[in-house]
Structure 1
Amino acid sequence: MEEYAYEMIGLLRKYNTIPIAIDQPIDLSIPESTVMLAVYLSVPEAENSRRAMNTANGIRRAKQMGRFPGKAPLGYINMSGFDGRKIIVPKQPEANIIKWVFRQLAKNNNKIDHIRKIADAKGLKCSRSHFFRIIRNPAYCGLIAIKISSKEQQMVKGIHDPLISEVLFNEVQRIITRK
């Protein structure tokens, strides 16, 4: 972002226009003022980077505590607990339809897309790609995924009520991976 500010100042100088900042005036005719300009332009960028880092660390800490930060997955709804902390709780009728989906997938009698179409008719409105994310999401069995590296993740027991058991979730993962 800093480079865009310098580019804009260069354009303004080209047209003999002098930028004036009310809160931090700088006289650009003095060579040493460019040092102050560099500081003024880089401090907000550093603050934004620090804020982004703090936000990422906060999300990671929340996940490590078993909380589900962000928008609740389909079948859950975001709420505030008695202590004021954000939690996710099952939302009907979607939660029951998702339970049904996992039970049907575990039977391994029908194609995934056939089960998706029946779930859609029952009221589970989502795209095909979203459906595939749902059946792979460990949050439904009460687990929170924490990314460790690009290829590795850690699972933490969530504080939310699972819709299905870990055994059922793992069985469905085994079946859909083979399909």
Structure 2
Amino acid sequence: MPPTSTPLPAGPRADQRDAVRVPRQLGLAALSILGARAGAVVEDPTTLSVYLFIPAGTAASWRTENTEALAGAESAPVPPRRRTEGPGPHWRVCPGDDGRVTDPATLEAALAEARIGFPLPDPQPVAGCPQCVDLDRLRARARRAGDLSLAVDCNVQLRTHRHATPTAR
């Protein structure tokens, strides 16, 4: 079976770039907005994620909602140079000879524009409600695993279940 990832084929080494993991639908919408301004981009259908490469050091200050910054692109899949379609991780935008990265401010603006019309922000757990705490943890695990369906289910339950109220002693 051919490898699903290798060192970045050209341009900056892993320690010279970071990556941002974005849910697939949002990432592809942002990529459409970015157009030619997009640097290297990997789509991973197995995790329903898109990885956009950004300059090294950017991950430390990245705070964009519903995204995950990866310092040194430590967890970003890097497919073989010529893999531009699945199955598995593949290049949506190849890195080219210079290992192009996306400008972080431009990426944040594209994500904000793409987010218009997307679902409501995540509900926050109610203090003192053990079910809320459990649902919040499950939602976080689901997102890390790329199970966005389960993450949305957790949001629905967080919004609709009867919250436990602390008992007075």
- The structure that is helix-richer by fraction is 1
TM class by smaller structure: under 0.3
- Structure with higher Rg: it is 1
Task: Return the TM-score normalized by structure 1.
Answer: 0.18
